Chains A and B, each alone.
Chain A
Amino acid sequence: MTPDNLIRRLRLKDDQIFLFLTIVIAVIAGLSAVLFTLTIQETKHLLFGLSPSTVRLILVPTLVSLLTGFLLAKYFPEARGSGVPQTKAAFHLDQGRIRPGVPFAKFLTGALCVGSGHSMGREGPSVQIGAGLASAIGQWFRLSPERIQNLVPIGAAAALAAAFNTPVAAVLFSLEEIIGDMNAGLIGSTVVASVTAVIVERSILGDEVLFRVPSYQLVHPAELLAYVVLGIVGGLTSLIFCKGLLRLRRFFLSLPPRTVVFQPAVGGLIIGIVLVFVPEVMGVGYEYVDQALNGGMLLQTMLLLCVVKLAATVISYASGNAGGIFAPSLYLGAMAGGVVGLLVHQFAPFPTAVPGAYALVGMGTLFAGIIRAPMTSVLMIFELTQDYQILVPLMIANMLSFVISKRFQPTAVYHALLEQNNIHLPHTGARPRKTAWSARHVMATKADFIPEETTIGEAWQSIKSQKGSTFLVGSRRHLVGIVPRKAIELAEQSGRGADSIVSIAEREFKYVYLDEPLELALERFDTRAGIMPVLGRTGNRSVDGVVTIDTILDFIHKKPA
């Protein structure tokens, strides 16, 4: 046997193992998603009973959030919030490695938070649980880092398929949102995982549907104008939701660290009070989505639920509870769409479809605006209706919503949430190609810093004899800014030698991330500054190295052919 044949045989075996693992992970992720859904229902029933009293409505979310707040703050900070951003971060920045305890913690805290009435969804946590289990299995089997990374979107797709019962949309979500590349080589594996998980889910729950979807009809061509209006309304509502969520979360993050344990309970108390007056915003709320889809709600009710659900979800999420925004975005969409549908139905001078049809399109519209996964949003609603007629209105409304949301909130909400935690994911357009050189190849890991506590005088004394026109201020863990030699010299000569070096540091400067392409690093490099920091994607401006003229020349000389 030639070495080539041997390698080919071994590779085939490796592929077979991966396929086997894909199926097993899909089964486990699917089961975990189903179990998670059931546990939420059981928790809700256990905590609230049939007709909860006012005191119970207020106390349950508050006390449960106190418990989950403690667990999330002390032991599993990664399990806060949705789980989708954390999964993305693990996939892109940590080669798919997720702590094995995280999926279990997410299961527990997610079931408690959503089951105790927080206005949050179960799909995001399911994604993190599925991805976490997949990663844990990969680590347990001691697979290569690349294989572990590949298992993450597979587990995510399987869990989402089982949680939301739309296998095609789950595959697309995994590609579009987790991997960020619709042409990823993992399409086959995610499809297998998604289908397997749905089979598992149906073998347990049967053909139960999430919503009774009304038959869709485009009654008159002029109705497309109404869908344009729906797209605009959806885009604006998405914006309000995203901006509100990010602002309130920033506020909670700015509070002293010792309050982190209690922040979810504050959210719980507010939600409890909200539940006394508007119990319809409790938990996932798909039964009310169903009601809106089937014309069972008045205009005022839908308007009220749209506003209160938006506020309640923002409060639940921003205060640090465990739960997603996937289901709330669909809920908001159904209500906003229903409102538009009822108004159009009442006032349009042309015949229109039933308001439920608008609620259905509205679900996709808000999903496109908030989650920013336009293809998934279209396919998901199409998969729910299985009706070609809905495609054109759906695409019009979704794309408009997507464009409006992107125009006024350029960073997608999952990315923005990560950035609030000082985690910077590569943007879709700037994904490094695996064959290309990246910034890491032209940098030197050794870098000198002027510590923040240094005065201008001390700094001048230490750099006076050194070469270089620009210096880094701060430390390897936190770069405060950069300062040109000339600025230090001028400040020293003008008598500001006792001032802190931080006072003259430039906080806006050119930098590059470790995984960004070489071309981008060279393009950004300023020869006058002579130095450019290379930042890590996690942490608060942590420095992995620096690019200088010397490192560039060194790379050119040593570069392999």
Chain B
Amino acid sequence: MLYVCTVPLFLVTRSVAARNRRLNIETAEAWYAKGEEQLKSGDLAEAISSLRKAATSDHDNPRHVLALATALAAANHDEEARQMLLQVRAATPENGEINLQLARLSAKDREAQETVRYYHYALYGLWPETEMAIQRRNVRTELVQFLFQAGDPGRALSELLILSSDIPDTPEAHNELGGLFLDAMDWQRAQDQFSRTLNLDRKNGPALLGAGKAAFNLADYRNASRHLRDASQLGFGDPVGDTMKNTAQFVLSADPLAAGVRTEERIRRLTESLNLASQRMQACLSGISDPAGNEALRTLETEIQEGLKTRYRNANLRQDAEGFQSGVDLIFRIETVLGQQSCPGDSLEHRALVLIAKKHGATEQ
């Protein structure tokens, strides 16, 4: 008789439990949808409340927990988000998305080692088959960006090289990678990536901007000027790019050692450059207090005044081809000392003079 009572009770309870489970899943889905809407409309507090109800109603759905954890992290409830993710991770340690969220939380706390570890778990974790490649690429990109922020460009570059071997041949992918190479100051690889984009789309603004910056840093001022000008015309300029463009244009117009320039023009360029450096030096000499710096500048002042009267005179320069190189070297030395003494008047033109000198072999001692 007891058996007769127990079996139906068991069956009834099981069926109620199943019904309850379905009800909970439906409730959770409703709250999840509401939470997502609230997130989109920017109502973070309400979204958290709705997503929390979703996660409570259906514990087993990691999507709800992930959405809640992401919202919590956005609202700076990092500790709760972390606890939540760690508990879900205990059941599915290989879940890529969970590890990625944990990496982001650790990144917020600047826990470099932990962050890199979670990013690697996410990289080698499981993602839906259809989006595995793109997700892994995105994770590695995030990792590279984190490493740059964490001041570890060496590791960032090595991750970047792995990333570069696995990108699709699309302008967006090349541009993103090129940008990361720019951050890593690997100008050549950056230029390669932007060039690939330009091969696919010659009027790609971001690629023109990136290629211009890379060319500028590679001292290819002609290409830098051209790309940056084109980018600016397409509406993709930025302040850094504009400065680079103007500097490059000045370098191109003021370089006395540039190929294909007539002698008169070379002389004019050198003389103007020497006068420019001299003017800044004159202005600086009156305000300088450091005796050693003063002495160095006075020596250079004597050298430039004498040079302008003798070696760098028009007639002498025509017979002395080495005079141009010597003049450029003198300008470099002057600008270096002026820079060391923090003299006022450091402008685009003066930085361009230094770049001209460097382009022709001048190095800081």
Contact = CB atoms under 8 A, between A and B. Distances in A.
Interface in B55-106: 56, 59, 72, 77, 79-80, 83-84, 87
A132 interface: no
A518 B20 CA distance: 56
Interface in A113-165: 137
B87 A38 contact: no
B6 A28 contact: yes
Interface in A35-91: 35, 38-39, 41-42, 45, 50
A39 B80 CA distance: 30
A38 B84 contact: no
Given A28-B6, A31-B9, A41 B83 contact: no
Interface string B1-25: 0100110011011101101100110
Interface stretch (A175-183, A290-298, A477-485, A547-555): A290-298
A370 B179 CA distance: 63
A171 B9 CA distance: 24
A295 B16 contact: no
Contacts, number: 68
A205 B79 contact: no
Interface of B: 2, 5-6, 9-10, 12-14, 16-17, 19-20, 23-24, 27, 30-31, 52-53, 56, 59, 72, 77, 79-80, 83-84, 87
A540 to B, nearest CB: 39
Given A42-B23, A45-B27, A296 B6 contact: no
B16 A296 contact: no
A294 B55 CA distance: 14
B6 A295 contact: no
Of B13, B17, B77, most buried by chain A (CB within 10 Å of CB) is B13
Contacts of B79: 294-295, 354
21 contacts: A24-B6, A28-B2, A31-B9, A34-B13, A35-B13, A38-B17, A41-B24, A42-B20, A137-B2, A200-B10, A209-B59, A214-B83, A287-B52, A287-B53, A287-B56, A295-B77, A295-B80, A295-B83, A296-B77, A296-B80, A354-B79
B20 A50 contact: no
Nearest to B79: A295
Contacts of A38: 13, 16-17, 20
A356 B17 contact: no
A295 B19 CA distance: 32
Of B19, B53, B59, most buried by chain A (CB within 10 Å of CB) is B59
A208 interface: yes
Contacts of B59: 208-209
A295 B24 CA distance: 24
B83 A31 contact: no
Of A28, A39, A50, A287, most buried by chain B (CB within 10 Å of CB) is A50
Contacts of A208: 59
A356 B14 contact: no
